[in-house]
Chain A
Amino acid sequence: MIQVLFFAQIRELLGSAKVEHTAENIDTAEALRAALAATDDKWAKVLASDKLLVAINQTMSQWDSPVKDGDEVAFFPPVTGG
């Protein structure tokens, strides 16, 4: 399984902080995003944001970065700390 985390307004808009997703047919961050988006119209809209960022195993990653069983993948908006 892949642990999927959501932060800030992405978490609020989805109404979910964490889900598990099967690693079957998932090879990249983009494939995971597409699979999650396909589950629900609201999720499709939120996850379509062109500002969405992805971290794999707590490292900032690209949409074509590989994702495998056991990974932790987080989706979040641009950061605004400091």
Chain B
Amino acid sequence: MEQCNPQINVRVHTEDFCVADEYGLLACNNQDGAVVNFVGKVRDFNDGSAVTDLTLEHYPGMTESVLMQISQQACDRWPLSKVTIIHRVGTLVLGEQIVFIGVTSAHRKAAFAACEFLIDFLKTKAPFWKLEAGDTGRKWVEAHDSDQQAAKMWQK
């Protein structure tokens, strides 16, 4: 297991984030040759229904602590220098950014893998819930078995 002393930055808030600013903060270290970012956005459909907006609820305190834990787990598995996770809460309209995950490492494979691990774990471990509004009213998004399976793949 690789050990590292990473800089972990976890934020949960209603405000939008600027990908360029986050990239700048991640990429300022010349020792890291690889910076991988993932951005999740509100899309216009889910399970075949049109979506107009999305409201995200979370469990203040526990959410931040889970995001710190999964960031630390990623740093225990891969040699990462920096991890940033930003997740928005509140009501977001079509096209808005929901989540940002950024990691840096000396090598691309570690950075790609860690970024994917983080989004898979976030989707199954962090206490966020989505309420969708669309043509047919409001409904809570159901958890997908495929997300659980994606997270389980990392336990092999």
Q: A79-B123, A79-B127, A80-B128 are in contact. Are A5 and B59 (CB under 8 A)?
A: yes
- Please tell me the size bucket of the interface on B: 20 to 34
CB distance from A4 to the nearest CB of B (A): 13
A80 touches B141 (CB 8 A): yes
Q: Is the interface of B mostly helix, strand, loop or mixed?
A: mixed
Q: A8-B140, A58-B61 are in contact. Are A76 and B129 (CB under 8 A)?
A: yes
Q: A58-B62, A79-B123 are in contact. Are A8 and B131 (CB under 8 A)?
A: yes
A79 touches B61 (CB 8 A): no
Contact residues in A for B40 (Cβ distance below 8 Å): 82
A55 touches B62 (CB 8 A): yes
CB distance from B96 to the nearest CB of A (A): 14
Q: B94 an interface residue at 8 Å Cβ cutoff?
A: no
CB distance from B129 to the nearest CB of A (A): 4
Q: How far is the CA of A24 from the CA of B127 in the complex (A)?
A: 28
CB distance from A13 to the nearest CB of B (A): 10
